[in-house]
Amino acid sequence: MNASTLLFGILFATTLCAGEPQQLKPVDEAAKDPSFFIFRARLIQAVSAKDTDFLISVLAPDVLNSFGGNGGIAEFREMWNPEDPKSEVWREFAEILSMGGKVDNEGGERGFSAPYFSACFPKELDANENAAIIGENVRLRKEPSANAEVVGSLSWDIVQVGTDSHIGDPEVEWIKVTTLDGKKMGYISSKYVRSSIGLRAGFSYRSGRWLITSLVGGD
């Protein structure tokens, strides 16, 4: 299994957030709203082409960029600098849009939340202490090394992680995890571990068109 296959080759379920209580299997409900499905396809094209004009044109005027800022398009541009082809916004959006999501019609607006592991993460679990494995038969190792003994495998499991696990830090290669039932413990390559409060996107249908209403991380 490699990262490109993982991120862009997953076959998503089209039902509600699925899986056993200790799993969070991939879900994509975009087809439930054909207009959003079409919008997302166009946005994926724009992100691939690094089309700044299109991206800016589909930002909501009050787009949420952080939980401490004022929001808005000017703030988005300052944070992400989408005019730069090397901006991280292109990589981040490409990953988010490739990983499914869930229809979210709370608040009276037609909406969609992505990626699936953020939209579907069990609310009763502490997002700072638990995370999702985004892969099937991902090797669990005894030590944080690719040469370490394999002690098991995990498939779409929700796992316990330390509050200092630094999920999402590009310099962290391994995450220590424990399954919710406590039966498996070891290290997983960080590219297969995702926090539900990592960077995520929200979309809403307003005045006859779909808009990006948030691109935010944290809680």
- The per-residue pLDDT for range 74-103, each reduced to its tens digit, is 999 999 999 999 999 999 999 999 999 999
Task: Say whether pLDDT at 178 is over 90.
Answer: yes
pLDDT (mean) for 109-117: 96
E-strand stretches of 24-173: 59-64, 102-103, 111-114, 130-133, 138-141, 150-154, 158-161
pLDDT bucket at 1, cuts 50 / 70 / 90: very low
pLDDT (mean) for 20-36: 91
How far is Cα 181 from Cα 158, in angstroms, rounded to an integer? 10
Domain containing residue 168: CATH number:
2.30.30.40
Question: How many Cα atoms occupy the beta-carbon half-sphere of 180 within 13 Å?
Answer: 18
* Within a domain: 167: yes
* Within a domain: 3: no
Task: Return all residues near 169 (Cβ < 8 A) that are at least 6 apart.
Answer: 190
**203 and 115 part of one domain:** yes
Digit-coded pLDDT (tens) for 136-160: 999 999 999 999 999 999 999 999 9
Of 13-22, 52-61, 178-187, 194-203, the poorest mean pLDDT is in 13-22
**142 and 212 part of one domain:** no
| Domain span at 51 | 24-121+198-216
**58 and 109 part of one domain:** yes
pLDDT bucket at 6, cuts 50 / 70 / 90: very low
